[in-house]
Amino acid sequence: MTQALTVSLGDRSYPIYFTGSKNALAATITALRESGKSLRAIADQGALNTQPDFLRKAGFQEDEILVLPAGETTKSIDHFAQVLSFLAKGSINRDGSLFAFGGGVTGDLAGFTAASYLRGIDFYQIPTTLLSMVDSSVGGKTGINLPEGKNMVGAFWQPKAVFIETALLTTLLDREFSAGMAEVIKYGLLADNLLFKKLEELDQLKADSPELIEIVRQCCALKAMIVADDEKETASSGGRALLNLGHTFAHAIENAAGYGDYLHGEAVAIGLNLATQLSVELGQLEGNAVDRVSNVLKKYDLPIILKQPLDTNALIDAMGRDKKNRLGQLRFVTMTEIGKAVTTEEVDLELIQKLLKHVGAAS
């Protein structure tokens, strides 16, 4: 087994497997079974449709797999309850393990269920989308949505291991791949100027591009470093909150539009455009950055404006419920240069309203 990267969290440290990830997964499942532990898996229906034999070949039986619908609406209280019942009916005890096979929705739901069931069982991530490979499968943020806002119920619960098999991306829809690229672009903007320049210079990356695996590893390494320094986002400034570049806007867009209208990465792309504009308006960033960022987003067929108008007040209200806010004030992640992000508070509300109207929000 090839362990390419470790998320360093003391006795809760865990590996992210790249090369040889299928062998590492099969060996992990075999070892757990030999030790007498019960296993269950949650699988995204879309991932199973394109990879119907993956879990079976890894060592799972059909009755050990709960298949859930694809899409953001699966991150709900109803599906959370369904997964809890699936574990309870299978008599899974505290030494059982739950595996997530799917994108960020599946991983977030599985992780939160694992954190909650019997006050915590082990879980493992098998991400099947680019977005989940570079972002949501690493770091232990788990949760579900409420009608009032995204990820408003959740827990920090680290996986025991992450198995990244980029070959799974060859069956991903183009729209899903593009959505994942929004998170890749985010990492370049917040922490790695050279990565961003690489994305500017490369031809459009595809699932079978030879450069992709190293870029995925690069993003995971950046996230692992940030998570190790500020696991539960408690730093008074900077820290893990920087990973939310563009996300205050993005989560508000998803909420106001109704979950499922935008893929998460599509909303993030608009959020990155807005965060760049905000950074320029605040005098933190040079004006040409707006064109540089929007050009890279458009290269990957990502939106930079709203598909249709959303109510400005609804967007502002959703931002007011964002978890990153402090002392009742909106808190944004902005950039002082491409490759360096900061947390910014006390932003004038009229400026936010103006920027939202620039991307198509309605008065």
**Residues that are catalytic:** 119, 141, 183, 223, 233, 240, 244, 247, 251, 264
Nearest to 73 by CA among 257, 254, 260: 260
- In angstroms, what CA-CA distances link 244 with 9, 238, 263, 332? 21, 10, 16, 8
User: Do 361 and 305 contact (CB within 8 A), yes or no?
Assistant: no
Cα–Cα distance measured from residue 252 to residue 271, given in angstroms and rounded to the nearest whole number = 9
CA distance 284 to 278: 9
Q: Say how far apart CA 181 and CA 230 lie, in whole Å.
A: 24
- Please report, for residues 82, 99, 114, 347, the alpha-carbon distance to residue 86 in angstroms, rounded to integers and kept in the order given: 6, 13, 12, 45
Give the gyration radius of the chain's Cα atoms: 20
- Give the Cα separation of 262 and 269 in Å (integer): 11
Spell out where the chain has E strands.
3-7, 14-17, 39-44, 65-68, 97-102, 122-127, 141-146, 149-156, 162-163, 331-337, 340-345
DSSP character string of 246-259: THHHHHHHHHHH-T
How far is it, in rounded angstroms, from Cα 83 to Cα 333? 34
Identify the burial level of 339 via C-beta atoms within 10 angstroms of its C-beta, where 0-12 means exposed, 13-18 middle and 19 or more buried. Answer: middle
